[in-house]
Amino acid sequence: MKGGTPAFQTINMKRNPFNRISGLYFLLLLTCLSCKKDLEKPQWDTQILAPFAYTEMGIENIVKNGSAQTNPDHSIDLFIRDTLYTLQLDSIVSVVTPAFDINKTLDSIKFGTAPIVTRITLGQIARQMAANSNPSTAAAGNFILSSHNTTQPFIPAISNITGGPIPINISTVLDEAEIKTGFLDITVTNGLPIAIQRAEIEIKNAQTPFGVVAQPVLTNIATGASKTQSENIAGKHVDGTMNANILDMDFAGGTGVHIDTNDAVTVTLTVREVTVSSAVAIFPAQNVVNDKSVNYLLDMGSVKLKEMKMKSGYVKIEVSSTIPDSIFFTYSIPTAIKDGVPFKTDTKVPPAGGTSTFIYDMTGYTMGLRGDPGINTDYNGLYNELLGRIKYTGRKIPLSLTDFIQVKISLENAKPSYVQGYLGDTTININGSIPLTVFNNITGGTLQFESADVAVVVDNSFGLPGSASISSIVAHNGSNSASATSSTTALGPGIDGNPPVITSSRVAVTNATALVNVLPKTVDYAGSLQINPSGAFNDNQFAYSAYPVKAYLEFKMPLSLIANQLQLTDTIAISSAPQLNSALKKGKLNLITDNGFPFDAKVMAYFLDGSGTLLDSLVTTQYVERATKGADGKVTQSKRSVISYVLSAGTISNIQKATSVIFKASFSTDTGSYSKIYSDYRIKFKLAGDIQYTVNGQ
Binding-site ranges for another protein (CB under 8 A): 1-5, 7-12, 14, 16-22, 24-29, 31-33, 40-55, 57, 61-62, 64, 590, 592, 642, 685-690, 693
Report, in Å, the least distance between residue 582 CB and another protein: 15
CA pair distance 113, 274, nearest whole angstrom? 10
Report, in Å, the least distance between residue 472 CB and another protein: 35
Give the nearer residue to another protein in terms of CB position, either 234 or 642: 642
Report, in Å, the least distance between residue 684 CB and another protein: 10
Residue 306 near residue 393, CB atoms below 8 Å: no
Report, in Å, the least distance between residue 367 CB and another protein: 43
Smallest CA-to-CA distance from 602 within 589, 627, 587, 619 is with 619
Residue 424 near residue 92, CB atoms below 8 Å: yes
Give the nearer residue to another protein in terms of CB position, either 368 or 587: 587
Residue 500 near residue 494, CB atoms below 8 Å: yes
Give the nearer residue to another protein in terms of CB position, either 40 or 632: 40
CA pair distance 690, 646, nearest whole angstrom? 10
Report, in Å, the least distance between residue 82 CB and another protein: 19
Question: Which DSSP string corresponds to 315-374?
Answer: EEEEEEE--SS-EEEEEEEEEEEETTEEEEEEEEE-SSSS-EEEEEE-TT-EEE-BSSTT
Residue 387 near residue 329, CB atoms below 8 Å: yes
Report, in Å, the least distance between residue 575 CB and another protein: 11
Give the CA distances from residue 641 to residues 51, 220, 595, in Å, rounded to whole numbers and listed in that order.
Answer: 15, 136, 8
Give the nearer residue to another protein in terms of CB position, either 269 or 695: 695
Give the nearer residue to another protein in terms of CB position, either 25 or 154: 25
Report, in Å, the least distance between residue 657 CB and another protein: 19
Report, in Å, the least distance between residue 53 CB and another protein: 5
Give the nearer residue to another protein in terms of CB position, either 65 or 255: 65
Residue 176 near residue 279, CB atoms below 8 Å: yes
Residue 27, sorted as left (phi over 0), alpha (psi -120 to 50) or beta, turns out to be alpha
Residue 330 near residue 319, CB atoms below 8 Å: no
Residue 565 neighbours by CB under 8 Å, 6+ apart: 444, 445, 446, 666, 667, 668
Report, in Å, the least distance between residue 43 CB and another protein: 5
Report, in Å, the least distance between residue 464 CB and another protein: 38
Report, in Å, the least distance between residue 46 CB and another protein: 3
Cis check for the bond before 209: say yes or no (omega within 30 of 0): yes
Give the nearer residue to another protein in terms of CB position, either 191 or 689: 689
Give the nearer residue to another protein in terms of CB position, either 11 or 434: 11
Give the nearer residue to another protein in terms of CB position, either 494 or 689: 689
Give the nearer residue to another protein in terms of CB position, either 49 or 577: 49
Residues linked to residue 428 through DSSP beta bridges, in sequence order = 529
Rounded to the nearest 10 degrees, what angle do helices 135-146 and 122-130 cross at? 140
Residue 218 near residue 227, CB atoms below 8 Å: yes
What sign does the CA torsion over 632, 638, 640, 646 have?
positive
Report, in Å, the least distance between residue 576 CB and another protein: 11
Give the nearer residue to another protein in terms of CB position, either 27 or 130: 27
Residue 159, sorted as left (phi over 0), alpha (psi -120 to 50) or beta, turns out to be beta
Give the CA distances from residue 86 to residues 53, 553, 554, in Å, rounded to whole numbers and listed in that order.
Answer: 44, 12, 15
Report, in Å, the least distance between residue 689 CB and another protein: 7
CA dihedral 441, 447, 451, 455 (to 10 degrees): 30
Residue 385 near residue 332, CB atoms below 8 Å: yes
What sign does the CA torsion over 60, 66, 67, 72 have?
positive
Give the nearer residue to another protein in terms of CB position, either 352 or 592: 592
Give the nearer residue to another protein in terms of CB position, either 44 or 537: 44
Residue 423 near residue 543, CB atoms below 8 Å: yes
Smallest CA-to-CA distance from 697 within 108, 36, 173 is with 36
Give the nearer residue to another protein in terms of CB position, either 6 or 633: 6
What's the burial of 149, exposed, middle or buried (CB within 10 Å: 0-12/13-18/19+)?
A: exposed
Report, in Å, the least distance between residue 567 CB and another protein: 18
Smallest CA-to-CA distance from 523 within 576, 455, 590 is with 455
